[in-house]
Amino acid sequence: MSENTQQEATNETEVSTPAVAETTTTETATDAPAGDASRSAQARGGRRGAGEGDRGQRNPRRPRRGGPRREERIRSEFDQKIISIRRVTRVMAGGRRFSFSVAIVIGNKKGKVGVGIGKAGDTQLAIEKAVRNARKNLIEIPLNKHQHIPHDVSTKLSSSEVMIMPAPGRGLVAGSSVRTVLELGGVKDVTAKIFSRSKNKLNNARATIAALKKLKA
């Protein structure tokens, strides 16, 4: 009886031991990912915090390069207006070549006015050349304190014939490029008349300049 009892007890012990081992293994395997996840979360949080701190220290707001802010570009005293722009084509051995011709009027509306022409392959460059040319050809109009011309004047240039007459109280009565020249020259209360049939705005503007040159204070 005692031997049988000892054998049964031994069998029960052997059967129960694997179950305990399996339970322990399962619990250990279940606990391992949770520990790893918490450690990885702490590591990520630590790295993120360190990165934010380093970023704040490494990249402070830098001052603008070049020192203080640049001053605004000084505006010219002369106003300008394009009266004519043409595209000119030259036929060469290799094909056609295009360029632009620009006629421009500049003035300060206080008695100074000029007409210039510029030619280039680009419109912006042609405008710059025309402005430089107009500055070279500036004239000063003899105006009184009310910005009126002293007397009638007329002239003929090429095929353009222009007449300018003072007309107090009527304002500026003129057309085509003649009006542009008188406007930018600061002339008030005049009547201008183009007697020719020419539609060339550059010639009309130059004829107006020639007429204004004849004025005597």
What percent of the chain lies above the pLDDT cut of 90?
A: 53
**What pLDDT was estimated at residue 62?**
65
For the chain, which domains are there?
79-213 (3.30.160.20)
Q: What is the pLDDT of residue 176?
A: 85
State the pLDDT at residue 76: 75
Burial environment of residue 5 by CB neighbours within 10 A (0 to 12, 13 to 18, 19 or more): exposed
Q: What is the pLDDT along the chain (217 residues), one digit of tens a residue?
A: 445 555 554 455 444 444 444 444 444 444 444 555 555 555 555 555 544 555 555 656 666 665 556 556 667 788 999 999 999 999 999 899 999 999 999 999 989 999 999 999 999 999 999 999 999 999 999 998 889 999 999 999 988 999 999 999 899 999 889 999 999 999 999 999 999 888 899 999 999 999 999 998 8
d(CA 95, CA 211) in angstroms, rounded, equals 43
The pLDDT of residue 152: 93
